Amino acid sequence: MAWNTGGPCPRFFIAKIDGQTFTARDHKQIFVLYRVWKTNNGERLAVDWEESVWKALKSSHPRHFHKDKRKGDPGVSVASAFSFITFIIKRLRNKKLVLAPLAKERAAICFACPMKSKVLGCSVCRSALKLAVKPPEAVEAPQACKACGCYLPLKIWIPRRLLGSSEAYPFHPDCWMRTEDELGCSVNHIGIQQSPRL
């Protein structure tokens, strides 16, 4: 959901999110402050983190923030995608990636999935995302998953056990995470390999 600003502008913007109060002169700074605070706490940004910030701003300044009710796929923000990359690379450390056939199989399921989405942001930021991830083999994948805010060109390479519960986010019923859970299929059955660089 998009948001607009208008009406009386406060001198300072205040937003209370996750029990924390953020104050700034420009409302855009609140997004930055929240992102930095989450990262410093070692937490991942939720897929709808921006919506939470907008709602908190609206709650503090109801006459200045307005919801734009036009529909459409809001996409996944570059910050969400980077947050996923930072989070998963810490978990990955020296662990190995899945083999290319499994990554390709996962990507094909993502391509057919209505939860696939695009990463929003300028071309420079989107190029930076690509540079941050160098999988061992080029495998085409959709840019993002709007269920979890993950960056799919990286996620498809991650061993299932490092990706958390398939119940944590509203993944599609045909999502490969759910299927792999149901099959109890450890990546060891399919093979894993070391990444040269992630």
Which residues contact ligand SF4 (rule: CB under 6 A)?
Answer: 109-110, 113, 115-116, 145, 147, 171-172, 175-177
Tell me the torsion sign for CA atoms 18, 21, 23, 27: positive
Count the Cβ atoms, other than its own, within 10 Å of residue 174. Answer: 12
Radius of gyration of the chain, Cα coordinates, nearest whole angstrom: 18
Task: Pick the closer one to ligand SF4 by CB: 15 or 76.
Answer: 76
- Both tokens of 97, joined, read 């990636």
User: Least distance from C-beta 53 to ligand SF4, angstroms?
Assistant: 23
User: Least distance from C-beta 149 to ligand SF4, angstroms?
Assistant: 10
Query: One-letter amino acid identity for 18?
Result: D
Task: Pick the closer one to ligand SF4 by CB: 57 or 120.
Answer: 120
User: Least distance from C-beta 152 to ligand SF4, angstroms?
Assistant: 6
Task: Pick the closer one to ligand SF4 by CB: 182 or 194.
Answer: 182
Query: At 4, phi and psi to the nearest 5?
Result: -120, 160
User: Least distance from C-beta 107 to ligand SF4, angstroms?
Assistant: 8
Task: Pick the closer one to ligand SF4 by CB: 60 or 143.
Answer: 143
Nearest-angstrom CA–CA distance, 52 and 21 = 13
The helix (run of H) or strand (run of E) holding residue 153 is: helix 152-155
Nearest-angstrom CA–CA distance, 163 and 14 = 34
User: Least distance from C-beta 147 to ligand SF4, angstroms?
Assistant: 4
- The SS3 call for residue 169 is coil
- The label of the residue with tokens 């509203």 reads 170
Q: Residue 103 region, left (φ>0) first, then alpha (ψ -120 to 50), else beta?
A: alpha
Task: Pick the closer one to ligand SF4 by CB: 31 or 84.
Answer: 84
Task: Pick the closer one to ligand SF4 by CB: 15 or 110.
Answer: 110
